[in-house]
Structure 1
Amino acid sequence: MSPSHFEDHSADVSPRLVDPNGTEDEQQLEAALRPKKLADFPGQPRVREQLSLVIEAARRRATPPDHILFSGPPGLGKTSLAMIVASELEAPIRITSGPAIQHAGDLAAILSSLNEGEVLFLDEIHRMARPAEEMLYLAMEDFRVDVIVGKGPGATAIPLELPRFTVVGATTRAGLLPAPLRDRFGFTGHLDYYDAADLADILARNADLLGVPATREGITEIAGRSRGTPRIANRLLRRVRDYAQVHGRHVVDLTSARAALELFDVDDDGLDRLDRAVLEALCRRFGGGPVGLSTLAVAVGEEPDTVETVAEPYLVREGYMIRTPRGRAASPRAWTHLGLRPPDGHFTETFQRDTDDGGGRFTG
């Protein structure tokens, strides 16, 4: 990371005030922080290299590129990359989402208004209604839609030719995409979690854009607790900025970062209140598990979907939780993180039960 990203505030902790009257809402702020060019997009080197090739080849042919699908967990930059695709192609972009398209007519109205070379961004594309999906198959492959006029036996399908355009889809659950739809994307890029160094670069850039003075130590502390996710990192940066402003430090340094993150229940490993509640329930109430998802959700006072989609992916990825055929179980790391000692023989017994069921390993 370049030292120029940071300012030295060891002697003067208030070189400039953070503006206390910011009126930008969260969405406008996220949009302002998004990079506009692929060269400015941090991290994801493999996806950037592949996407650059796709875009450059399309530019040289003077034709729209193949349809593009971005997959990966929330907050890693799928929407930003869609915007970058349109920017690099110097093409307009139409933005919608799968949940907003519940009827084939909704999609037909969008498709029929597209211009040559336009980018259609479909966020959460796996949540699109099935009739709209089937219409999208034809539009992506043959660049036409069949508009149904009339009802019953007298209904007539009128083919409507479409200009060549590029669909950019984004999904957090690629496995839910039907194979016929997935196969129509010429390029699929999977985004992985970021390492702490890339997140620090992102935070340093965004601190400059927000006019927030920051030290290397403060930025590094936030990056290390951001769960490998830029969206979380940016949110924590804003909260540390708020803390520094209110407490008169006016700089995101190590002291402000640690104090603010403690106040907002983000521990050294990036676990928040919900994460720790899940681990506490597993270890203290259920003896380390296995325990069913619904029971675990009731124990922490949350909906099962919240536990499964918000807390569980990170806990499993970082080795705090194990998904078994019998339910969720705490790993050795979970007990250690809580400062607890697991019952004697707990892990051997849990593993043996799954072996007896024919699994032979922890699965989920």
Structure 2
Amino acid sequence: MADFDRVGLPGRLPGPRDAARSDRAGFADESVTTERLVAAGADDIERAAEAALRPRSLEDFVGQRVVRDQLSLVLHAALGRGTPPDHVLLSGPPGLGKTTLAMIIANELGTSLRVTSGPAIQHAGDLAAVLSSLEEGEVLFIDEIHRLARPAEELLYVAMEDFRVDVVVGKGAGASAIPLSLPPFTVVGATTRAGLLPAPLRDRFGFTGHLDFYAADELERVVTRSAHLLGAPLDADAARELASRSRGTPRIANRLLRRVRDWAQVRGDGSMDLRAARAALEVYEVDALGLDRLDRAVLTSLCTRFNGGPVGLSTLAVTVGEETETVETVAEPYLVREGLMGRTPRGRVATPAAWAHLGLEPPAPAGTLFDAD
């Protein structure tokens, strides 16, 4: 069976089960207490802290103004008609708030959220079991929807469009399909690679929103709000420092905030000021541009061992002791976006900005036969 969970969210029509489930969604209250984290267990402390920092409504959601306004229009129109909204597809890099927006959608609609993921659904029967147990108006969130198995994908086409599934009974020539009607529901799909979604599936979503990286001032608001929820006020200069090193991603900003809180608690005087922020980020090897150990290892290897490139991705990955996919999906996108690395048909190359950031002198351009003496 597929790995799924039902998360109840307090909405306009709360019920007894919603109150019991709200802790699992991380929306029970506006603060993270020590007792609550300890009760969650050592293995779940980080997850509970991150969940509790999630905003509960579109008004509290920082950034993504265009997507927020468009989504608000879709949801309020559906509430006015008393019908479930169109299916929603959210795309964008990881850590920008796709899962949070799915929770907010369910919260705004006053219903519960059913959570699953594409890799967890390997067979059509897995998806049929999830769909057949949905209640009217529920929100089904499918993370990494581009990784759905093909049979499950084809079953989802019919379910999204006609609200029915065909249950196959028997095998071979004696098999027959029994149509099973489904109550109206809303699918919220999240993907980091929208290009891998087949056109028939993508066209069945009534609203598609793409999430972009956050500006520094938006991340300042994110970490300031999170620090307030954690009960550890953050200095304005420290918030600005964290925002500048968070790679435009709220998830990274909140993670760095928790590490600064750790440093202030263990090695500082408990206050999260600029000195504590810089000291903590130095301990965790996050530099002024937000580059971590892997990013700097890739750049350093490219500049010092290969004279700035070009060099093949697999060779570069072997040099830094990582898998090719790790370098390509974790380090490379940010390095390219910041103008520190270039991708050419011959391989990866270091830009002048990479040499300057590492404090190295770029090599002199090679001479030609036509250079004057």
For the criterion TM > 0.5, the same-fold answer is yes
Q: Which residue of the partner structure matches residue 235 of structure 2? A: 215
CA–CA separation in structure 1 for the residues paired with 2:37 and 2:57: 26
Q: 2:312 aligns with which of 272, 281, 292?
A: 292
Question: Take 1:154 and 1:137, find their aligned partners in 2: how far apart are those partners?
Answer: 25
- Aligned residue identity for 2:139: V
Other-structure match for 1:259 = 279
Deviation at 1:22, TM superposition (A): 5.3
* Contact residue 342 and residue 350 of structure 2 kept, 8 A: yes
Name stretches of at least 5 consecutive residues in structure 1 with no aligned partner. Answer: 1-17, 350-364
Q: Does 1:65 align with 2:85?
A: yes
Relative to 1, partners in 2 of residues 1:39 and 1:21: Cα closer, same or farther, differing over 3 Å?
Answer: closer
Bigger Cα displacement from structure 2, 37-46 vs 244-253? 244-253
Which residue of structure 2 aligns with residue 191 of structure 1?
A: 211
Q: Is 1:276 aligned to 2:275, yes or no?
A: no
- 8 A contact 2:310–2:348 mirrored in 1: yes
Change (3 A) 1:81 1:140: same
Aligned to 1:145: 165
What's the CA shift for 1:269? 0.6
Report the equivalent of 1:6: none
Name the CA distance, whole Å, in 2 between partners of 1:164 and 1:56.
17
Number of the residue aligned with 2:184: 164
CA distance in 1, matches of 2:56, 2:197: 28
Q: Indicate which of 88, 103, 106 corresponds to 1:83.
A: 103
- Cα deviation code 1:47-83 (max 9, x no counterpart): 0000000001111111100000000000000000000
Q: What's the counterpart of residue 343 of structure 1?
A: 363
1:134 counterpart (123, 148, 154): 154
Give secondary structure in 2 for the equivalent of 1:99.
Answer: coil
Shift in Å, 1:123:
0.5
**SS of equivalent residue, structure 2 residue 225:** helix
Distance across 2 between alignment mates of 1:162 and 1:22:
38
* 2-structure distance, mates of 1:333, 1:181: 41
Identity %, equivalent residues = 71
Q: Structure 2: how far apart are the matches of 1:111 and 1:270?
A: 42
Say whether the 8 Å CA contact 2:139–2:187 is kept in structure 1: yes
Alpha-carbon distance, 1:248 to partner:
3.3
In structure 2, C-alpha distance between the alignment counterparts of 1:196 and 1:292, rounded to whole Å: 33
Counterpart residue type for residue 215 of structure 1? D
Q: 1:20 offset after TM fit, Å?
A: 11
Moved more, 262-271 or 151-160: 151-160
Distance 1:30 1:136 in 2: 31
1:303 aligns with 2:326: no
Q: Which amino acid aligns with 1:234?
A: N
| 1:55 and 2:85 are equivalent in the alignment | no
Say yes or no: does 1:115 pair with 2:153.
no
CA distance in 2, matches of 1:127, 1:20: 38
1:124 and 1:249 mapped to 2: Cα distance?
42
The CA deviation at 1:21 is: 10
Amino acid at match of 1:113: S
* Local SS of the residue matching 2:233: coil
SS of equivalent residue, structure 2 residue 119: helix
**1:345 Cα shift?**
2.5
Q: CA deviation at 1:344?
A: 2.2
Note if contact 2:37-2:48 (Cα within 8 Å) is conserved in structure 1: no
Is 1:94 the counterpart of 2:114? The answer is yes
Deviations 1:249-304 (A, max 9, x none): 20110000001101100000100000000001111111111111111110110111
Q: CA deviation at 1:327?
A: 1.6
Deviation digits for residues 218-270 of structure 1, max 9, x if unmatched? 11111110000000000000000000111132011000000110110000010
Q: Confirm or deny: 8 A CA contact 1:275 1:311 kept in the other structure.
A: yes
CA 1:277–1:93: 2 relative to 1, 3 Å: same
SS at match of 1:189: strand
The one-letter amino acid of 2:233's match is: P
Q: Is the partner of 2:59 in helix, strand or coil?
A: helix
Aligned to 1:42: 62
Would you say the 8 A contact 1:38–1:52 is kept in 2? yes
- 4+ residue runs of structure 1 moved beyond 4 angstroms? 18-22
The count of aligned residue pairs is 331
Provide the C-alpha distance between the structure 2 equivalents of 1:206 and 1:284, rounded to a whole number of angstroms: 40
Does the CA contact (< 8 Å) of 1:213 and 1:250 recur in 2?
no
Letter in 2 for 1:166: T
In the alignment, is the contact (CA less than 8 A) between 1:219 and 1:252 conserved in 2?
no
- Of 110, 124, 127, which residue of structure 1 is paired with 2:144? 124
Corresponding residue for residue 331 of structure 1 = 351
